[in-house]
Structure 1
């Protein structure tokens, strides 16, 4: 821990800061051990997989929160819109003293599937330490977020650094599956979860050694399309020429989504250039592993292309594999696109823009249909709120360097639900990931140095919020 040049010690003393730093350091190996235990539970909340693993994960998280000193710990769920029961979330509480605010800490204990295990260098559900990184599915996204909350709670409890502050821990169990029961859960337990400040530990930092507060997220929509040219498959030699196969026409359809430079070409999708942070091209290339021969798509500042402009990706297509191919003209081709929507645009408007674009295409008269499957709102905040100011101080004090206010190209649709149901709450989006964490990919990992800093930053934030409330 390095003292921040801009640290405000009026509310949090230098002695408290040092005490919290010492406690976080002393707890480091225990946190890694606890995280290793969580990573070993394959808590994938997808339909068709064993739900017992997600339940085991919830119980493990509940026990960590009890061991950290919370007595009011429950496993709760709600019924999703389709009538299915949601996966267990952990809710743990400490009531606020009179006149003190309440802070809600969010993370999720479910994880993504591992994909092709041959691409992993280490067993995905066996946390493996290599140098300054810990590898494993969920090591970063988002079981590290859980341990940031647990580690900070341990520190402030032992240091008595946030006495009187109300604390709520909400650890969801189905975020990676799209949070199907999240809205119903919030409505069912709205008063139980009501807070003045909400900390969402499911984002990332600028780079290793440089923390960030996420102040914007793109919204999202997604849809499935179908191109049909025949009522049954036919011989490509006998009918090829006058009849183009459905995959070829689908390729032409997908090509209409971007112009020659790679800019999104769908009319009605909002385009913005408002970023105040420079994202060097060479940094993006290194972070994403872009091949040297590949030119970046689109125009304008890189940061805006990542955070403030729409993006469309073809994420799935039903087509005959090469191994099973035959001399046949395929009659139908289906695909799915994922659309990231610029902050500030209504995702329903974006969904309609996509529907209208597909309806307007003429592929030699082929039948083209498009169906919206998802829509989630964007998020934008500023740094003027007291909680955001406190968080920026905490990040700078913990890391010893100036934090960045940044956007994220991804989406967290449930943030819109939090904003709607708790309009007066200040929402802070933080995290422990760095550009090489590879969340959702093979060889997901956590930088252990930044992990320690993130724990200290949250402890400092909670201490400052409590101290400022006491001072009035």
Structure 2
């Protein structure tokens, strides 16, 4: 370490210098199509895990670095490969657990991408590619910050550091809970940093202090024993498509707000956020109105939402003059912080059963749910994180809610109830995670890496 620099100055300088190498390694990770969904090549997820293991092993600070899997209790199947690295604390220093995930979303329609999804491409200050933001950039923020800490302080620091780089977050984290249980001693920490959220904008950092929960299931609506001719029986016989459309319409009122009894809302203040900003960040064109009631951010952060994300029915190409006997849809609901996902699921299914038209038979399968999350912002780690973000970005951070869900955080709270959990991220609102042309804002990544390095330095001196 340069003797003329303070510890934090030396770490900041080393972190700035670590950015180019971190971005180069991020490009290598993006080239690996590590989709953990069923039907995709598991070998690519394993290849991605090995690449991450190599990056962590090369740091030279861990007692062990290994690729591990856990067995999913409900099915007996093996989960996707994760990477676990451990370094114990010394001389009373705290231990930090750094989380990210190396699996990515499927590409979707490749024709919608402006450049190849698994070929990292820089355009206009952004790095494009699937996983460039969500969440391989989170991995490299961790790695780059640790490289900076080592460069500035050497390997003889006291902070305990564990890393858990998951391999199936996008596919539902089915083996997350058993992985935590199997490796609880190795993962136990005083502070947990989950690098899988976003920031207020491209220049303003954020701590995520609330996340909505989620409920997802497939609903099948059946009205006939078999398909029938629409001309012969239409007008007297309810087909499944008609029944499904009428049933789904009961989920929202005329303003587009959720109209399901038993789904709660959270009463909390939200920052100013204009309709113009919403249109820009969400891609909402002029002439299409926002939905819901209340402030825009209250609708996204503190109220439930319901989306139909998939449907099995005759396609336009295969349409015929037929009354469909059965239609299946996937319903995805976001649950306000403060309400349990189980309670919300029960309310939603009860509503659908009660409103099924014409006596249609309604059944549910493939249910999945995750609880919402509210952060206790009174801990010392939150103060340290805010200070590090302010220094790393040059702008004071804001506390934000997020409309999305990270269900596994409830597992972290249950397994490590004494840990302070910090939800951070490297994404800006234009990252388009899960969508075509996903990208990472390069300046945001640089600031995030510097901020995390400064947080590590602060925690290393905490006693």
Greater than 2 Å deviation, 4+ residue runs:
13-18, 368-372
Look up the SS of the partner of 1:86 in the other structure.
Answer: coil
Query: 1:29 aligned to 2:20?
Result: yes
Query: 1:172 aligned to 2:201?
Result: no
Query: 1:17 aligned to 2:11?
Result: no
State the alpha-carbon separation in 2 of the partners of residues 388 and 56 from structure 1.
35
Are the counterparts in 1 of residues 266 and 303 from structure 2 also a CA contact under 8 Å? yes
Q: Which residue of 2 aligns with 1:388?
A: 382
* Shift, 1:14, TM fit: 7.1
* Shift, 1:372, TM fit: 6.3
Query: 1:105 aligned to 2:108?
Result: no
Query: 1:431 aligned to 2:422?
Result: no
Which residues of 2 match residues 9-408 of structure 1 at below 5 A? 15-71=6-62, 72-81=64-73, 82-160=75-153, 163-371=157-365, 373-408=367-402
366-375 vs 298-307, greater mean Cα deviation: 366-375
Are the counterparts in 2 of residues 220 and 376 from structure 1 also a CA contact under 8 Å? yes
State the alpha-carbon separation in 2 of the partners of residues 135 and 373 from structure 1.
33
State the alpha-carbon separation in 2 of the partners of residues 69 and 282 from structure 1.
48
- Structure 1 alignment gaps of length 5 or more: 1-12
390-399 vs 47-56, greater mean Cα deviation: 47-56
Look up the SS of the partner of 1:324 in the other structure.
Answer: coil
* Shift, 1:26, TM fit: 1.8
Q: 1:220 to 1:322 in 2, by over 3 A?
A: same
State the alpha-carbon separation in 1 of the partners of residues 193 and 5 from structure 2.
24
* Shift, 1:69, TM fit: 2.1
**1:86-138 residue CA offsets vs partner (Å, 9 max, x unmatched):** 11111111111031110000000111110110000000001001121000000
Q: CA RMSD in A?
A: 1.3
Are the counterparts in 2 of residues 359 and 370 from structure 1 also a CA contact under 8 Å? no
393-402 vs 154-163, greater mean Cα deviation: 154-163
Are the counterparts in 1 of residues 270 and 298 from structure 2 also a CA contact under 8 Å? no
149-158 vs 370-379, greater mean Cα deviation: 370-379
State the alpha-carbon separation in 2 of the partners of residues 95 and 163 from structure 1.
11
**1:184-225 residue CA offsets vs partner (Å, 9 max, x unmatched):** 001111111100000000001010000000000000111221
Q: 1:369 to 1:426 in 2, by over 3 A?
A: same
Look up the SS of the partner of 1:271 in the other structure.
Answer: coil
Are the counterparts in 2 of residues 42 and 53 from structure 1 also a CA contact under 8 Å? yes
Are the counterparts in 2 of residues 219 and 376 from structure 1 also a CA contact under 8 Å? yes
Are the counterparts in 2 of residues 269 and 341 from structure 1 also a CA contact under 8 Å? yes
Are the counterparts in 2 of residues 272 and 308 from structure 1 also a CA contact under 8 Å? yes
Are the counterparts in 2 of residues 31 and 147 from structure 1 also a CA contact under 8 Å? yes
Look up the SS of the partner of 2:174 in the other structure.
Answer: coil
**1:260-296 residue CA offsets vs partner (Å, 9 max, x unmatched):** 1111000000012313322222111110000111111
* Shift, 1:371, TM fit: 4.1
State the alpha-carbon separation in 2 of the partners of residues 419 and 205 from structure 1.
23
State the alpha-carbon separation in 1 of the partners of residues 241 and 286 from structure 2.
29
Length-normalised TM-score, structure 2: 0.96
- Structure 2 alignment gaps of length 5 or more: none
State the alpha-carbon separation in 1 of the partners of residues 260 and 118 from structure 2.
41
State the alpha-carbon separation in 1 of the partners of residues 431 and 158 from structure 2.
36
State the alpha-carbon separation in 1 of the partners of residues 274 and 385 from structure 2.
26
Are the counterparts in 2 of residues 221 and 351 from structure 1 also a CA contact under 8 Å? yes
Q: Aligned residues, how many?
A: 457
Look up the SS of the partner of 2:180 in the other structure.
Answer: helix
Q: Which residue of 1 aligns with 2:408?
A: 414
Q: Which residue of 2 aligns with 1:7?
A: none
**1:397-429 residue CA offsets vs partner (Å, 9 max, x unmatched):** 011111110000000000000001100000000
